[in-house]
Structure 1
Amino acid sequence: MSAVVDSHQHFWSLDASWFDWPTSDLAAIYRDFGPEDLPPLLQASGVSQTVLVQVAPDPAETAHLLEVSERTSFVAAVVGWIDLEQETGLADLERFAGHPKFRGIRPMIQSIPDPEWMLRPSLAPCLAAVERLGLTFDALVKPPHLAALATFIDRYPNLPVVVDHGAKPEIAKGREGFSDWARGIASVAERPHVFCKLSGLLTEAGHRTGWHDLLPFVVHLLDVFGPRRLMWGSDWPVVELGAPYGTWLDYVRRYISTLSADEQERILGGTARDFYRLEMS
């Protein structure tokens, strides 16, 4: 089996000008996390490459992450942020697109009060440029956004979309948090060019972080997307709020253990390599 790709990880520094999250109440992750912290976890888990994803809605952070990627061999791609509603966003996008590790954008949709924000006409020029440049779109959404996301995907059929963190189902509520999310994510998955990350689920689970607590949600994602449109991601260091890095990967390996070797390889590396156009390390 090929080496594992972590399709979703972060770095941050508390003294960065753009830093505003995590907040101090999240004590387990309220400190600096940088490239020197991750290699022991990657080596212990057999992970060869990562996709470094933005945290702050600030193009300065994206520029910084691209600089970090130049001196960090395991970072194979960067997903950044631009202001989709401003002309400056288009200029930033063109600038970032010239970097060999820049692969796509991630607007902070989960934090925007309007669940239909992504459908605003003012976003169209930048999104057309994202399509033209062959870049990707990470959809950081929650269950209330899924109806609008389905419309968004139909509106931009040439835009490769991946749903971050399974759209953040309310796992902490158990079955109560399952039904509406399950219908919404199934509708999104009907669009065959849409992908999904098996990431971020532990931090939506509250105290329900056992293997069986997450099982119905993972099974549903496997059912509606299939193994060829799913990619594993750690969401490190945020995952540390729920369990250690290796524990989440062990969970996913157990969830997919009955799949064929090829299907397991897709989830643990192949899908991410294709979606983000990663060069084999």
Structure 2
Amino acid sequence: MQFIDSHVHIWTEDEKTYKRHPSYPIPGGIDASKIEINPKHFPPETIISMAKPFGIDRVCLVQMSFYGSDNSYIIDAIKQYPLSFRGAGYVDSNMPGLENEMETLLNKGITGFRIVPEDRYVTSWLQTPGYDLMFSKAAETKQALSCLVNSDAFNEIDRMSNRHPNTVIVIDHLGRIGANGTILQSDIDQLCALAKNENIYLKVSAFYALGSKQPPHHDLIPLIKQVYDSYGPDRLMWASDAPPALMDESYEDQISVVRDHINFISQSDKEKLMRTTAERIFFFR
């Protein structure tokens, strides 16, 4: 059985061809163009060779923050390896010609977009004409909108989910619950409450950044159990979040949480979590 990694970043040390941009709204007001990265070079060939031994033959490439709205690096990777990759790109929701740009990018393999709130507007970050247009167009194109958020943004996602019920919304990294080291039941309850909205999906990912932040990540299993019970396997998708996940852990550490350490999910449901859901959401064309 072949699997899909639904969240991987790639970048290149070739900054002349693929320039960095400071405009991407990283929480904390960080200038994305000045981020120090390690490794310096993580091209598509690296993730292909890294994932293959574990039966992972397809990957959703997520736009790296410092490239801003220039999606050319992941587009070029998709063009070079069309059977292996699709992309979640980034566009400015306030740009002129947004709808046309979304269609153009879809035809280049960008089957989703990442959206990120600005800190000072987190409780109202989607309340703009641009985001309304983006959500409406995404319902038409079937491009998923992947949200990098904390629990303080859940209410706004709930509002937009109800306003745009035909738009696929994906919450990245289990809503980053436990990113500060503490897994709050109140945050889990709020995340699970969103399951009533059938257009909301979750990435079960970024284990290295949550809770104890130590493999084998058994402290995250109760959280995963609760979202599994609430959302079911058809709305959950596993991801590694490589290469940030590889700073202190291995690629297999990210896989083994779901593959080896969870006994409440059947093998058929694990196949949904590790392949079928992501296939439906990101590899629909």
Q: TM-score, normalised by structure 1?
A: 0.87
Query: Secondary structure at the residue paired with 1:37?
Result: helix
Say yes or no: does 1:50 pair with 2:56: no
Structure 2 unmatched ranges of 5 or more: 22-31
Query: Partners in 1 of 2:19 and 2:250 — Cα distance?
Result: 28
Identity level (%)? 19
Distance 1:217 1:152, change over 3 A: same
Distance 1:97 1:210, change over 3 A: closer
Say yes or no: does 1:160 pair with 2:158: no
Tell me what 1:13 maps to.
12
Say yes or no: does 1:270 pair with 2:279: no
Over the aligned positions, Cα root-mean-square deviation in angstroms equals 2.2
Distance 1:33 1:206, change over 3 A: farther
Deviation of 1:73 (Å):
4.7
Contact 2:170-2:202 within 8 A present in 1 as well = yes
Tell me what 1:230 maps to.
236
Deviation of 1:190 (Å):
1.6
Say yes or no: does 1:118 pair with 2:126: yes
Deviation of 1:92 (Å):
2.3
Contact 1:166-1:201 within 8 A present in 2 as well = no
Amino acid at match of 1:214: L
Query: Partners in 2 of 1:212 and 1:262 — Cα distance?
Result: 22
Amino acid at match of 2:121: D
Say yes or no: does 1:65 pair with 2:74: yes
Query: Partners in 1 of 2:191 and 2:177 — Cα distance?
Result: 9
Amino acid at match of 2:98: G
> Superposed, which structure 2 residues align to 1:170-249 within 5 Å?
170-174=178-182, 177-205=183-211, 207-249=213-255
Aligned residue pairs total 270
1:37 aligned residue (34, 42, 46)? 46
Residues 34-63 of structure 1 deviation map (CA, whole Å, 9 limit, x = unaligned): 012122321221101111111226221x13
Distance 1:194 1:126, change over 3 A: closer
Tell me what 1:3 maps to.
2
Amino acid at match of 1:243: E
Contact 1:77-1:278 within 8 A present in 2 as well = no
Deviation of 1:208 (Å):
4.3
1:150 aligned residue (149, 152, 158)? 158
Query: Partners in 1 of 2:64 and 2:158 — Cα distance?
Result: 24
Tell me what 2:35 maps to.
23
Contact 2:234-2:277 within 8 A present in 1 as well = yes
Query: Partners in 2 of 1:17 and 1:37 — Cα distance?
Result: 20
Distance 1:202 1:221, change over 3 A: farther
Q: TM-score, normalised by structure 2?
A: 0.86
Residues 121-179 of structure 1 deviation map (CA, whole Å, 9 limit, x = unaligned): 342223222222222111211111111111111111010111111110125533xx322
Query: Partners in 2 of 1:10 and 1:263 — Cα distance?
Result: 26
Query: Secondary structure at the residue paired with 2:115?
Result: coil
Query: Partners in 2 of 1:275 and 1:240 — Cα distance?
Result: 25
Tell me what 1:92 maps to.
101
Amino acid at match of 2:131: L
Deviation of 1:112 (Å):
4.1
Contact 1:170-1:204 within 8 A present in 2 as well = yes
Amino acid at match of 2:46: D
Tell me what 2:28 maps to.
none
Distance 1:146 1:266, change over 3 A: same
Contact 2:181-2:210 within 8 A present in 1 as well = no
Query: Secondary structure at the residue paired with 2:77?
Result: helix
Query: Secondary structure at the residue paired with 1:129?
Result: helix
Distance 1:155 1:206, change over 3 A: same
Query: Partners in 2 of 1:214 and 1:140 — Cα distance?
Result: 19
Distance 1:121 1:73, change over 3 A: closer
Deviation of 1:72 (Å):
2.2
Structure 1 unmatched ranges of 5 or more: none
Amino acid at match of 2:4: V
